[in-house]
C-alpha cells in the first residue's frame, strides 16, 4: 500500500432511507456493518468485560487509545506480544483514537505547539511527547484496523481564533500523518474540527476531504455545547461529508443523539456513556433510563428490561442487581455494563434494519 493512498473502496452503501445509510466497511479483521456503535476499550479492555463477554454481545469493532496504551503498557511491548488484537484476545476489528481527544481532556497537563503536544503523564507526571508521526507509529505498533489522524480538539466554547488555530494545526498534522507509510490493510481517517461554527466546519471539511483518507470523522462535538446546537451542526455538516466513505461522529452520545445523527447520515459512533453510566447505577431502557439505586428496585422481580437478550436481563432480576450495586459486588459492574452495551448495540442493529426496510423513524422508541 502506498503511503497516503486510501484502501480501494473499503466502504460501500447497501441501503438508504432518506439521509440515513446502511453500509459495509471492509477491514483486515472482517466486515463492519453500519450504522455501528463501537464500545470503548481505552486501555485494551472494555471496562468490566472479558473479550469473551464482548464476543457474546457481538460488536464488530471496539476502540483502543493511542495515548493511554503508549503510556501503559507501552506500544512497543504490545507489538512484541503480537499486537493489540492478540494482546487482548480480540478477533474482530479495532479502531484506535490518536490521542487527539486527550489534547482536550488533559488540557491542564499539556502544552501544544505546531510540531505536536507535550503531556505531563497522568500516571507519574513524566513528560510524554506526541507528534503526528509518533501517533501513527504507535497505531502501527498496535496493529489497529482503523487509525485516526492526530488532531487538536479545542473546547466548544473556545474563542473563534483558538478554534481556527486548532483547525490549521489539525490540517497540517493530517498531512504529516498521511506521509507516514501505513501498515498493510490499515485504514486511516481524518478528523474535522471547527467548534459549533458552521462556516468553520465547512471550511475544515473542505480542506480535509482534499486529502486521501479512507474515512472522515467529526471531532470536537459533545464537549460542552447544548445538544440542539450540536445537532444543528451535525444536520448540516454530515450531508456535506464524502458520500463514498464512512462518516464517524466521535464521542457522542445518548441513544437519542445517536439515532438522530444516523438520520442525518452518520455511520459510526463511540461513547463511554454506556459503560460509565453502568458503573454509576444508570441503566438504559427503551424510552429512558433506570437508576438501580432507587429504593423501589430492591424488591422488584422484573428484569431490567423485558425482552432484552443480555445475560443480565435473561437471568437476573432488578432486585438482585440492586443488591449487587448496594453491596458493591464486582458482578454488578459486569452485568450492568453488558446490559447497557446490549442496549446501544441493539440500537444500531435496529437502525440498520429500519434503513434496509426503506423508512427511518425520527425517534428510536
Please give the sequence-ordered ranges of beta strands (E in DSSP) within the chain, or none if there are none.
11-17, 20-27, 30-34, 36-38, 61-65, 93-97, 110-112, 117-120, 127-130, 146-148, 187-192, 215-218, 247-249, 268-270, 282-285, 288-291
CB-based burial, 210-220: b 16+ in 10 Å, e otherwise: ebebbbbbbbb
Positions marked catalytic: 97, 270
Is 111 exposed, middle or buried, given 0-12, 13-18 or 19+ CB atoms closer than 10 A? exposed
CB 149 within 8 A of CB 173: yes
Is 126 exposed, middle or buried, given 0-12, 13-18 or 19+ CB atoms closer than 10 A? exposed
Tell me the β-bridge partners of 65: 97
Return the residue matching grid coordinates 440492586.
322
CB 300 within 8 A of CB 319: yes
Integer-rounded Cα radius of gyration of the chain: 20
Amino acid at each position: 500500500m502506498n503511503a497516503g493512498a486510501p484502501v480501494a473502496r473499503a466502504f460501500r452503501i447497501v441501503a438508504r432511507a432518506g439521509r440515513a445509510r446502511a453500509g459495509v466497511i471492509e477491514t483486515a479483521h472482517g466486515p463492519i456493518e453500519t450504522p455501528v456503535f463501537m464500545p470503548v476499550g481505552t486501555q485494551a479492555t472494555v471496562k468490566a468485560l472479558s473479550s469473551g463477554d464482548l464476543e457474546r454481545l457481538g460488536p464488530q469493532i471496539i476502540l483502543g487509545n493511542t495515548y493511554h496504551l503508549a503510556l501503559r503498557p507501552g506500544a512497543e511491548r504490545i507489538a512484541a506480544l503480537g499486537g493489540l488484537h492478540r494482546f487482548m484476545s480480540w478477533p474482530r476489528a479495532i479502531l484506535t483514537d490518536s490521542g487527539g481527544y486527550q489534547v482536550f481532556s488533559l488540557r491542564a497537563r499539556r502544552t501544544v505547539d505546531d510540531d505536536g503536544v507535550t503531556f505531563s503523564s497522568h500516571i507519574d507526571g513524566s513528560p510524554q511527547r506526541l507528534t503526528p508521526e509518533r501517533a501513527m507509529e504507535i497505531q502501527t505498533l498496535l496493529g489497529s484496523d482503523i487509525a485516526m489522524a492526530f488532531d487538536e480538539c479545542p473546547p466548544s466554547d473556545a474563542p473563534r481564533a483558538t478554534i481556527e488555530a486548532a483547525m490549521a494545526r489539525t490540517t497540517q498534522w493530517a498531512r504529516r500523518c498521511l506521509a507516514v507509510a501505513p501498515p498493510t490493510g490499515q485504514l486511516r481517517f481524518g478528523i474535522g474540527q471547527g467548534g459549533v461554527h458552521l462556516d468553520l466546519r465547512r471550511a475544515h471539511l473542505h480542506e480535509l476531504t482534499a486529502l486521501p483518507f479512507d474515512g472522515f470523522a467529526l471531532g470536537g462535538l459533545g464537549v460542552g455545547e447544548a445538544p440542539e446546537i450540536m445537532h444543528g451542526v451535525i444536520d448540516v455538516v454530515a450531508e456535506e461529508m464524502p458520500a463514498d466513505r464512512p462518516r464517524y461522529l466521535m464521542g457522542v452520545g445518548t441513544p437519542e443523539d445517536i439515532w438522530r445523527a444516523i438520520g442525518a447520515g452518520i455511520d459510526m459512533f463511540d461513547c463511554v456513556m454506556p459503560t460509565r453510566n453502568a458503573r454509576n447505577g444508570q441503566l438504559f431502557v427503551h424510552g429512558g433510563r433506570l437508576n438501580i439505586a432507587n429504593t423501589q428496585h430492591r424488591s422488584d422481580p422484573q428484569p431490567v428490561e423485558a425482552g432484552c437478550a443480555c445475560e443480565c436481563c435473561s437471568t437476573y432480576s432488578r432486585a438482585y442487581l440492586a443488591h449487587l450495586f448496594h453491596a458493591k459486588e464486582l458482578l454488578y459492574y459486569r452485568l450492568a455494563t453488558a446490559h447497557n452495551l446490549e442496549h446501544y448495540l441493539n440500537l444500531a442493529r435496529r437502525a440498520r434494519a429500519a434503513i434496509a426496510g426503506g423508512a427511518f423513524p425520527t425517534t428510536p422508541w
